[in-house]
Chain A
């Protein structure tokens, strides 16, 4: 629906926006500016009297000297690409299944949403328990199926740790994709499929010509929200592996989190600013489309 046409200057909208705006300025904009200022400083809570202005040297150190920055950056890309990619794939399949009429559909839908409402800490820790080298279910099942001979401590091996954490973030994200895409699918008119059936279209033609174009907007926003959330996510990795073994699961947000925890705030801020720039690149198309739609 279109907003009311503008007549004369009104004070109401500004008054209504004021409380939210004041809070946002206080908890977001002032801190962001503060973070940018801090990123140019030596600011370490362990040496409270030694705060000094450094210029760009935090950034230079991160980009050229820090042995962990670029590997973490690469892992962040893998974590988001595979994490969100598989969430989308399986979430879409689940949405297609739930879009069919069958008895007990409501129950299945409600039950399949539970991972989404589970705290990230718990997801990290329960999956850590499932992956356990001695008493873990994953190993037990793989051994029973004859795929493995002996249990693998998935989370303490360099090559299996990151894929293992990705599986758990996929598990967390499937419901959100399924829920959003299902709602979008239910808005697609059945007439279009009937017409396609008459024309003899096959499953894939219908998928690519009707289904995907119809749910494009929802798909786009869902992908973007998940990319932001998954990139930001600290709790799952922090509780599963704390970034280990030997940094094998350390993403940028986990790295910044750990640096902030040891109270090296200037350095951590600089890294967080770099991470924000990375996220803004993902967000620009989203903001642009919002503006376009609002015309």
Chain B
């Protein structure tokens, strides 16, 4: 009887847990495995029939090509500048705005909140067209600054919402105590509030960095070969005769690693903020 029971429970864990977990992980991660493997295979193995799932010969030649004549480092640098500037600018203005929304009651609060939230709804392609002609007139077209401004169209509304979710978890009594002790509001904000919120702001920052690092639609309109970011550079590997798969897979591997690492550190707090926003906002 006891024997029977353990067999049953082993079966239950296998079919109820191990199998579904394995299925999900294989489905979600196999494309990355295939991308990496393609990037280290010699050409003869990439285009082999039947397919070679485990490379027989490893080569870094594609990566040499990627950083050599394709000059991928240039695109990484462009992406880094745009992503860091987007992150800093949006964090700064969104934190102030979110603080105003969650710590003050003022005439017009609701209308302004609706204005910020509704910004999320405008399709990228709607904004892309007028932004293109405005930036051309202002001479911002094809500059990193222009792209950063274009990215704030979606990073600011979203991060105001996200940071508001975080602020809700910071008890107001903390600042109140400081105010009672004779701190003014600015000091209370800088000395008490900001340090408590910093880890959350870093998580929000990672999210915005990620968005800017990965964005393609606007970048393809607002950059030229000199200011091109990674996604546009990857897209340029689609040629007349098809895609340069080896280069694409190498470039893809290189560009995914930094955001993955950042995301792993930020994920817990990020989710806390997203769901806190969802519960009320």
Contacting residues, chain B, for A28 (C-beta < 8 A): 119, 122, 127, 153
Partner of A111, one of B25, B100, B131, B274: B25
- 19 further A-B contacts with Cβ under 8 Å, apart from A24-B115, A218-B278, A256-B123, are A1-B168, A13-B104, A16-B96, A20-B94, A23-B149, A23-B152, A117-B260, A125-B234, A129-B245, A129-B248, A180-B271, A180-B274, A183-B271, A231-B123, A232-B123, A260-B128, A272-B125, A286-B117, A287-B118
Partner of B217, one of A14, A225, A235, A294: A235
A57 within 8 A of B: no
| B25 and A32 contact, CB distance less than 8 A | no
| A273 and B126 contact, CB distance less than 8 A | yes
Contacting residues, chain B, for A100 (C-beta < 8 A): 17
Q: Given contacts A127-B31, A217-B279, A294-B110, are A20 and B260 in contact (CB under 8 A)?
A: no
**Could you say which of A63-71, A188-196, A204-212, A261-269 contacts chain B?**
A261-269
Distance between Cα atoms of A63 and B271 in the complex (Å): 41
| B278 and A228 contact, CB distance less than 8 A | no
**Which residue of A has the minimal Cβ distance to B48?**
A135
**Which residue of A has the minimal Cβ distance to B157?**
A24
Residues of A within 8 A of B (CB): 1, 3-6, 9-10, 12-14, 16-17, 19-21, 23-24, 26-28, 30-32, 34-35, 38, 90, 93-94, 97, 100, 102, 108, 110-115, 117-122, 125-130, 134-135, 137, 140, 171, 174-175, 179-180, 182-184, 187, 217-218, 220-222, 225, 228, 231-232, 234-235, 238-239, 253, 256-257, 260-261, 265, 268-269, 272-273, 275-276, 279-280, 283, 286-287, 290-291, 293-294
Distance between Cα atoms of A282 and B67 in the complex (Å): 45
**Which residue of B has the minimal Cβ distance to A33?**
B130
B263 within 8 A of A: yes
Contacting residues, chain B, for A32 (C-beta < 8 A): 122, 126-127, 130
B15 within 8 A of A: no
Q: Given contacts A4-B103, A32-B122, A126-B35, are A287 and B114 in contact (CB under 8 A)?
A: yes
How many residues of B are counted as interface, with CB atoms below 8 angstroms from the partner's CB atoms?
106
**Which residue of B has the minimal Cβ distance to A106?**
B268
Distance between Cα atoms of A1 and B176 in the complex (Å): 14
5 sample A-B contacts, Cβ–Cβ < 8 Å, listed by A number: A3-B102, A19-B97, A111-B29, A238-B217, A291-B110
B9 within 8 A of A: no
Chain B nearest Cβ from A55, distance in angstroms = 19
Residues of B within 8 A of A (CB): 17, 20-21, 24-25, 27-32, 34-35, 38, 46-51, 89, 92-94, 96-97, 99-106, 109-110, 112-134, 149-150, 152-153, 156-157, 160, 168, 171-172, 185, 210, 213-217, 220-221, 230-232, 234-235, 237-238, 243, 245, 248-249, 252, 255-256, 259-260, 263-264, 267, 271-272, 274-275, 277-281
Partner of B243, one of A3, A115, A128, A222: A128
Chain A nearest Cβ from B275, distance in angstroms = 4
Chain B nearest Cβ from A193, distance in angstroms = 16
Partner of B34, one of A93, A130, A222: A130
Partner of A272, one of B47, B114, B129: B129
| A10 and B104 contact, CB distance less than 8 A | yes
Chain B nearest Cβ from A16, distance in angstroms = 4
Chain A nearest Cβ from B224, distance in angstroms = 14
Distance between Cα atoms of A20 and B234 in the complex (Å): 32
Contacting residues, chain B, for A12 (C-beta < 8 A): 100, 104, 185
| A121 and B24 contact, CB distance less than 8 A | no
Most buried by B among A119, A234, A286: A119
Chain A nearest Cβ from B54, distance in angstroms = 13
Distance between Cα atoms of A113 and B243 in the complex (Å): 27
Distance between Cα atoms of A144 and B51 in the complex (Å): 11
Most buried by A among B35, B123, B125, B260: B125
Distance between Cα atoms of A256 and B274 in the complex (Å): 30
Distance between Cα atoms of A217 and B281 in the complex (Å): 9
| B124 and A1 contact, CB distance less than 8 A | no
